[in-house]
C-alpha cells in the first residue's frame, strides 16, 4: 500500500466544511500562490510519509467519534494522485453518512486522467489557486475565484446551501502544538495580520508565520 506525504492531521476540524471533520493536510505544493497561508506545506521534503492504511485507520477512529466528513487540503493533494485516491477510496468504503471534501489549487479544466481518478470519491471539490488580489467573504474559500463544486448527490444535498453563503465572520480555529500555533480555515483579507496583532497584544510575539516564509514568487 502507498504512502501519502502529510504535513499534519487534526480532529475535529470545524472550520473547513460542515460539522466536525478529520482534516488531512498533505505536504508538497509547487503552485506557489502569492500570499499562501500554508507555505510550510510547499516543500515536498517536509512533513512525514504516512501509510495510507494508517490514514484510513485515523478516519475510522474519527468516524467512531462522530466525524461528519473528511477535508483534505494542503499542500496540493493532486500532486500525490495515486496515494490520495487510495486514501479516499478507503474512507469511501466505510464512510456511512460522512462526506469527502478536497481542496485543490488546480482548476477543473486542469484535471488530467490521473487527477480526475484521484478525486473520483470526493463529494465536493474546492478548486482554483489562491488569488490574493481577489478577496472573498464566501465560506470555506480563500479568494473569489475559487469554486465550490459538489459532485455527488450527498455533496449537492450537504453543500448546496454553502456554495454562495457569505457568513458574517469566517469560521476559524486556532490550534496550538509543540511547534507553535496554527490557523485552520480561510481568513478574510487582513485576518492574518489582525491575528498577529492580537497575539502580540496578548504577549505572544510571532517569530515566524507560515504565510510569510517566502518572498512572493519564490517556489517550493
Ligand atoms: S494556496 Fe496555492 S500555493 Fe498554497 S497550498 Fe494552496 S495551491 Fe499551494
Residues 72-129 pLDDT 10s: 999 999 999 999 999 999 999 999 999 999 999 999 999 999 999 999 999 999 999 9
d(CA 106, CA 8): 21
- Ligand 1, residues at Cβ distance < 6 Å: 29, 31-33, 36, 38, 41, 74-76, 105, 129-130
Let me know if residue 212 belongs to a domain. no
Beta-sheet pairing, 124-127 with 99-104: parallel
Let me know if residue 54 belongs to a domain. yes
DSSP one-letter string for 111-160: --HHHHHHTTT-SEEEES---TTS---STT-SSTT-EEEE-SHHHHHHHG
Let me know if residue 128 belongs to a domain. yes
Let me know if residue 86 belongs to a domain. yes
Range of the structural domain that residue 100 is part of: 3-201
N-terminal to C-terminal alpha carbon distance within the chain = 27
Nearest CA to ligand 1 atom 4: 36
Nearest CA to ligand 1 atom 6: 105
Give the helix/strand (H/E) hosting 183: strand 180-185
* Number of structural domains the chain divides into: 1
Per the structure block, which three cell numbers stand in for 166?
457569505
- What are the two backbone dihedrals, phi and then psi, of residue 169, each rounded to the nearest 5 degrees? -130, 145
- Ligand 1 center to residue 129 CA distance, Å? 6
Give the helix/strand (H/E) hosting 59: helix 52-64
Nearest CA to ligand 1 atom 7: 105
Q: Pick from 39, 26, 4: which is nearest to 71 by CA?
A: 26
Let me know if residue 218 belongs to a domain. no
pLDDT mean by block of 10 residues, the chain; 220 residues = 93 98 98 94 97 98 98 97 98 96 98 98 98 96 98 98 96 81 86 79 75 47
- Ligand 1 center to residue 36 CA distance, Å? 6
Ligand 1 pocket test, candidate residues 16, 74, 78, 217, most atoms within 8 A of CB: 74
As a three-state string, the secondary structure of 63-119 is: HHCCCCEEEEECCCHHHCHHHHHHHHHHHHHCCCCCEEEEEECCCHHHCCHHHHHHC
d(CA 29, CA 78): 9
Judged by DSSP in three states, 60 sits in helix
pLDDT of residue 212: 64
Let me know if residue 213 belongs to a domain. no
d(CA 59, CA 160): 25
CATH number assigned to the domain comprising residue 104: 3.20.20
- Ligand 1 center to residue 65 CA distance, Å? 30
Let me know if residue 210 belongs to a domain. no
Ligand 1 pocket test, candidate residues 27, 32, 37, 106, most atoms within 8 A of CB: 32
Burial 136-155 (b: 16+ CB within 10 A, else e): bebbbbbbeebebbbbeebb
- Ligand 1 center to residue 93 CA distance, Å? 29
pLDDT of residue 214: 55
Let me know if residue 41 belongs to a domain. yes
Nearest-atom number in ligand 1 for the CA of 105 is 7
pLDDT of residue 197: 83
Amino acid at each position: 500500500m502507498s504512502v501519502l506525504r502529510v504535513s499534519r492531521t487534526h480532529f475535529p476540524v470545524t472550520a473547513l466544511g460542515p460539522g466536525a471533520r478529520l482534516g488531512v493536510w498533505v505536504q508538497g505544493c509547487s503552485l506557489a500562490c502569492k500570499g499562501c497561508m500554508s507555505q510550510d506545506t510547499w516543500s515536498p521534503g517536509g512533513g512525514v510519509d504516512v501509510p495510507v492504511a494508517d490514514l484510513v485507520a485515523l478516519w475510522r477512529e474519527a468516524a467512531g467519534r462522530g466525524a461528519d466528513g473528511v477535508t483534505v487540503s494542503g499542500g496540493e493533494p493532486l500532486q500525490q494522485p495515486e496515494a490520495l485516491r487510495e486514501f479516499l477510496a478507503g474512507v469511501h468504503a466505510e464512510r456511512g453518512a460522512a462526506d469527502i471534501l478536497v481542496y485543490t489549487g488546480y482548476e477543473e479544466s486542469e484535471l488530467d486522467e490521473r487527477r480526475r481518478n484521484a478525486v473520483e470519491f470526493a463529494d465536493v471539490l474546492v478548486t482554483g489557486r489562491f488569488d490574493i488580489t481577489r478577496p472573498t467573504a464566501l465560506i470555506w474559500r480563500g479568494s473569489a475565484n475559487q469554486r465550490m463544486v459538489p459532485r455527488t448527490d450527498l455533496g449537492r444535498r450537504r453543500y448546496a446551501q454553502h456554495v454562495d453563503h457569505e457568513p458574517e465572520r469566517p469560521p476559524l480555529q486556532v490550534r496550538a502544538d509543540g511547534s507553535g500555533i496554527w490557523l485552520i480555515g480561510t481568513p478574510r483579507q487582513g485576518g492574518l495580520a489582525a491575528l498577529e496583532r492580537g497575539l502580540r497584544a496578548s504577549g505572544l510575539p510571532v517569530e515566524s508565520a507560515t504565510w510569510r516564509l517566502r518572498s512572493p514568487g519564490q517556489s517550493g
